Structure 1
Amino acid sequence: MNKPVNYSKYSIARRIGFYFLVMIAFASLISGISLSIMWSNKSDAGLINVSGSLRMQSYRFLYEMEHHPQSIPARLAEYRQSLNSPEIQDSLEHKCLLPKEVTEAYAKLQKNWLEMESFIVKRDRNAYEANIEGYANQVNNFVWQLQEFVELKLKVAIGVIAVSMLLIIALAYFGVWYTRKRIITPLNQLVTASRQVKNEDFDHIRLAVDDPNELGLLSSAFTQMASELAKLYASLEEKVEDKTRRLMAVNRSLLVLFQCSQLLTAKPVNQSVLFKVLQTILDNEQLRGIEIQVYGADYWNVTIDNAPEQDWQFNEIAIENEKLALLRWKPSLLCPDERLIQNVSEMIGRSLYVLQVQKQQQQLLLMEERSIIARELHDSLAQSLTFFKIQVSLLKRNGEVKQDWDKQKVILNDFEKALNEAYSQLRELLSTFRLTIEEANLTHALERVLDSLRIRTSAQIRLNCKLPSQIFSAQQQVHALQIVREAVINAIKHANASEIDVIAETNADGEHCLIIRDNGKGIASDIEPEGHYGLTIMKERAAELKGEFSIKNRPEGGVEVVVVLPNMITA
């Protein structure tokens, strides 16, 4: 664990202050030395002048002893005053600063002066003159030593000043270098990093975070702040991207739901519509396969499978506990939106349920309408025909006693035959009107029609229905049932068939077919005899279904009635 850095110890302000104090100290030293040199130069000049005057005064004594002996005491006093002048005494008081040679030369000078003074007092001019040269040399030596000392002081002062100036220059250079390295460069880096952060570039240049000073602390705090901002921005960007992805997914889901809703509501549901809906889900969710199985309408089943080896996931479609279909899918590496699939499943279920309910409502309305017509026919036309039949019987009974009975009998027989046939057709018509179509399932409806006809013949009537109930509306289903009923009745009445097959299937071209075939005696022509309208009615009903009607003899015997319907007749 790193120890905390004492920033006050390495403070930039403290260091700069220290450097300035050192520079001030050196400047003060230079100033002090300069002042001391100036002061010492003043005293040294006086000292040298006084020392130099000693030589001149010592030679003057020769002249005074020869020409003015009376002034010698005054001159001796002046000489002693010069030899012990304040300038010399002040210098001698700082012996620690004077070289040893100077003090020794002064002491020797004082000692020799005592000897020279004794010669003057004795007025021994010859002795004085004999020793004056040596004494003058001692004075010169003392003066020279003083000059050497002064020069030495000047040299030392100059050296100290030079060194101090060099130190000041070095300190100034170091101060500039330190300021550039420790202050200006980190500040420039902070400015650059601030601009980068301002431009949302949090991966800024490296800052001097290791410097143990205020700028290092500021750089460290700035770097930490930028790092936190980068994390915050990254987190915000991730949140924005996540929200954007979710909004796009929701928007895509809404678009898919809208497209599926348009497909399911624009026209009645059929296999083509279901295929488009499943293809939309497959493309949007990137599924590997999707399939729908419509219960009771196998023809409407749609399968799109691009990965046969993968297992299916499924969702059963049910409305009010009534199972309508099974939706299965194969997800890819990306997980599909199960809520979207569930919503589309519910939309498909509602469409199938609504179609079924609408068909049942149409069937109920049609059944009620036909029941009303049947009652009216039964109450009016049936009673009238019954009355005609009774009257024909009475006419036949009364006409037996009259002449030309044979002719009358032929006419009456024809009339009775036509009336019976009309009555039979009326009963069939009433049965047709009372045909119940409550069953939404086409197979069950056909079974009920054929069950009502099986009791009228010994022929074996078989049904093979592979068509889904959803291909017909209620009115269209009635037309289909009537075509089958009329064709089977014709086979029962006219073909003398032992086997009658009713087939409802889809051919290879995707067309719906109603086929009624028997093994009877066949037909001579497809032109209907006079007074019969069965073929005409079947053709008209086939036209109502937008289908093609055909009737032909089978090579193996019997008749085959075929009605070919388009694969989208409910559109």
Structure 2
Amino acid sequence: MPPTESEQLSTRHSIVFNTLVAFVIIIGFSLISMLASLYLADALEGDAEAINQAGSLRMQAYRLAFTAEQGSQAVLEERIVTLERTLLSASLRSALHRHGATELPALHAGVLRHWQQRMRPLLDAQPPRLEEYRQEAPEFVSELNVFVRTLQEASEGKLGVIRALQAGTLFVIVLIAFVLIYGLHNNLATPLRSLTKMARDIGKGDFSGQVQIPGDTELSLLARTLNQMSQELASLYAEMEQKVDDKTAALTRSNATLQLLFNSARMLYSQPD
């Protein structure tokens, strides 16, 4: 049994299906962009904390020299522990893990090595070698500046990725929306106007109109069906009109025959001879 016309309508030609696919793509891109932005924003929040802590190391390094000169040994040891805790904090380790492909791990290792091998021994000496510590501090702070700047650049790179991702998603969504609107205008709005006009004409008894909608969509199938129905109705009306004309002619002949018989009967009745 050959397939019907509706069965031959492929899914890829369906207006409804293509519209749903377009909406699914738009929603999918929006969700992907949103999730990626949330992930990167969360990473940026961690980077901000790491930048703050790395920046505080510079102040702590200079403060140690003042504490060694003016404060007690207990306060000095407490602030040394604070600096080392900051240098090995979870936020910095997390930032190093997130930016493992950059030079940040090497820079952090250099800063840590400089502190452990060259800076802390000067403070641990009895008495602390403050003059040498003050000479080493600028170089240590310089290494911290490079580390902080590199971390900030890596964080700004992620921010650039977020901007590019959002801009790309917006461009794709606008492009799909434009294609969708253009397709709906050509494949839905314009054919619907033609079909509506044809339906009105059929309702008024005008069966001469024909609608041609190219493609294999639902509306093109509807247009072919309406065209066929209009032709069949036109043939049916023409046949009915012909039958009415034949019946009218037959009734006219019968009426004429009866009129002739009536006139003949009346004449015979009025003139017996």
TM-score for both structures, normalised by structure 2: 0.81
Q: Distance in 2 between matches of 1:196 and 1:133?
A: 92
Alpha-carbon displacement from aligned partner over 1:526-568 (angstroms, at most 9, x marks no partner): xxxxxxxxxxxxxxxxxxxxxxxxxxxxxxxxxxxxxxxxxxx
Higher relative contact order (CA 8 A, sep 6+): 2
Q: Which residue of 1 aligns with 2:22?
A: 19
Could you tell me whether the CA contact under 8 Å between 2:211 and 2:223 is conserved in 1?
Answer: no
- The residue type paired with residue 239 of structure 1 is K
Match of residue 165, structure 1, among 151, 159, 170? 170
- The residue type paired with residue 229 of structure 1 is L
Alpha-carbon displacement from aligned partner over 1:325-363 (angstroms, at most 9, x marks no partner): xxxxxxxxxxxxxxxxxxxxxxxxxxxxxxxxx9xxxxx
Q: Which residue of 1 aligns with 2:70?
A: 67
SS in structure 2 of the partner of residue 100 of structure 1: coil
Q: Please state how far the C-alpha of 1:7 moved relative to its aligned partner.
A: 3.4
Could you tell me whether the CA contact under 8 Å between 2:65 and 2:130 is conserved in 1?
Answer: yes
Match of residue 45, structure 1, among 41, 45, 48? 48
Match of residue 238, structure 1, among 224, 236, 242? 242
Alpha-carbon displacement from aligned partner over 1:33-54 (angstroms, at most 9, x marks no partner): 4433543343222111101011
Could you tell me whether the CA contact under 8 Å between 1:51 and 1:139 is conserved in 2?
Answer: yes
CA 219–42 in structure 1, closer or farther in 2 if over 3 Å, else same:
same
Q: Which residue of 1 aligns with 2:110?
A: 108
Q: Please state how far the C-alpha of 1:225 moved relative to its aligned partner.
A: 1.5
Q: Distance in 2 between matches of 1:167 and 1:9?
A: 21
Match of residue 90, structure 1, among 83, 90, 94? 94
Q: Which residue of 2 aligns with 1:225?
A: 229
Q: Which residue of 2 aligns with 1:318?
A: none
Q: Which residue of 1 aligns with 2:10?
A: 7
Alpha-carbon displacement from aligned partner over 1:412-434 (angstroms, at most 9, x marks no partner): xxxxxxxxxxxxxxxxxxxxxxx
Q: Distance in 2 between matches of 1:203 and 1:137?
A: 89
- The residue type paired with residue 162 of structure 1 is A
- The residue type paired with residue 59 of structure 1 is Y
Q: Distance in 1 between matches of 2:249 and 2:84?
A: 115
Q: Please state how far the C-alpha of 1:259 moved relative to its aligned partner.
A: 11
Runs of 4 or more consecutive aligned structure 1 residues displaced over 6 Å after TM superposition: 1-4
Alignment of 1:303-322 (within 5 A): none
Q: Distance in 2 between matches of 1:37 and 1:66?
A: 44
- The residue type paired with residue 116 of structure 2 is L
Match of residue 31, structure 1, among 31, 34, 42? 34
Alpha-carbon displacement from aligned partner over 1:140-197 (angstroms, at most 9, x marks no partner): 1111111112222112111211221222223333333333322222222221111011
SS in structure 1 of the partner of residue 209 of structure 2: coil
Write 1 or 2 for the structure with the bigger share of strand.
1
Alignment of 1:53-452 (within 5 A): 53-68=56-71, 70=73, 71-95=75-99, 99-115=101-117, 116-122=119-125, 123-208=128-213, 210-248=214-252, 250=253, 254=257
- The residue type paired with residue 23 of structure 1 is I
SS in structure 1 of the partner of residue 211 of structure 2: coil
Alpha-carbon displacement from aligned partner over 1:292-348 (angstroms, at most 9, x marks no partner): xxxxxxxxxxxxxxxxxxxxxxxxxxxxxxxxxxxxxxxxxxxxxxxxxxxxxxxxx
What is the percent sequence identity of the aligned residues? 27
Between stretches 179-188 and 238-247, larger displacement belongs to 238-247
Q: Distance in 1 between matches of 2:105 and 2:254?
A: 111
Root-mean-square deviation (CA, aligned residues, Å) is 3.3
Q: Please state how far the C-alpha of 1:254 moved relative to its aligned partner.
A: 3.2
CA 74–55 in structure 1, closer or farther in 2 if over 3 Å, else same:
same
Could you tell me whether the CA contact under 8 Å between 1:202 and 1:229 is conserved in 2?
Answer: yes
Could you tell me whether the CA contact under 8 Å between 1:190 and 1:207 is conserved in 2?
Answer: no
Alignment of 1:441-520 (within 5 A): none
Q: Distance in 2 between matches of 1:146 and 1:245?
A: 103
CA 187–128 in structure 1, closer or farther in 2 if over 3 Å, else same:
same
CA 234–118 in structure 1, closer or farther in 2 if over 3 Å, else same:
farther
Could you tell me whether the CA contact under 8 Å between 1:7 and 1:214 is conserved in 2?
Answer: no
SS in structure 1 of the partner of residue 13 of structure 2: coil
Could you tell me whether the CA contact under 8 Å between 2:195 and 2:211 is conserved in 1?
Answer: no
In structure 1, runs of 5+ residues without a counterpart are 269-357, 359-571
Could you tell me whether the CA contact under 8 Å between 2:104 and 2:150 is conserved in 1?
Answer: yes
CA 212–124 in structure 1, closer or farther in 2 if over 3 Å, else same:
farther
Q: Distance in 1 between matches of 2:39 and 2:32?
A: 10
SS in structure 2 of the partner of residue 186 of structure 1: helix
Tell me how many residue pairs correspond in the alignment.
Answer: 264
TM-score for both structures, normalised by structure 1: 0.41
Write 1 or 2 for the structure with the bigger share of helix.
2
SS in structure 2 of the partner of residue 90 of structure 1: helix
Alpha-carbon displacement from aligned partner over 1:433-478 (angstroms, at most 9, x marks no partner): xxxxxxxxxxxxxxxxxxxxxxxxxxxxxxxxxxxxxxxxxxxxxx
Q: Distance in 2 between matches of 1:107 and 1:17?
A: 54
Whichever of the two has the greater Rg, that structure is 1
Q: Distance in 2 between matches of 1:241 and 1:102?
A: 99
SS in structure 2 of the partner of residue 139 of structure 1: helix
- The residue type paired with residue 97 of structure 2 is E
CA 196–72 in structure 1, closer or farther in 2 if over 3 Å, else same:
same
Q: Please state how far the C-alpha of 1:205 moved relative to its aligned partner.
A: 4.2
- The residue type paired with residue 112 of structure 2 is Q
Q: Please state how far the C-alpha of 1:112 moved relative to its aligned partner.
A: 2.2
Q: Please state how far the C-alpha of 1:258 moved relative to its aligned partner.
A: 6.2
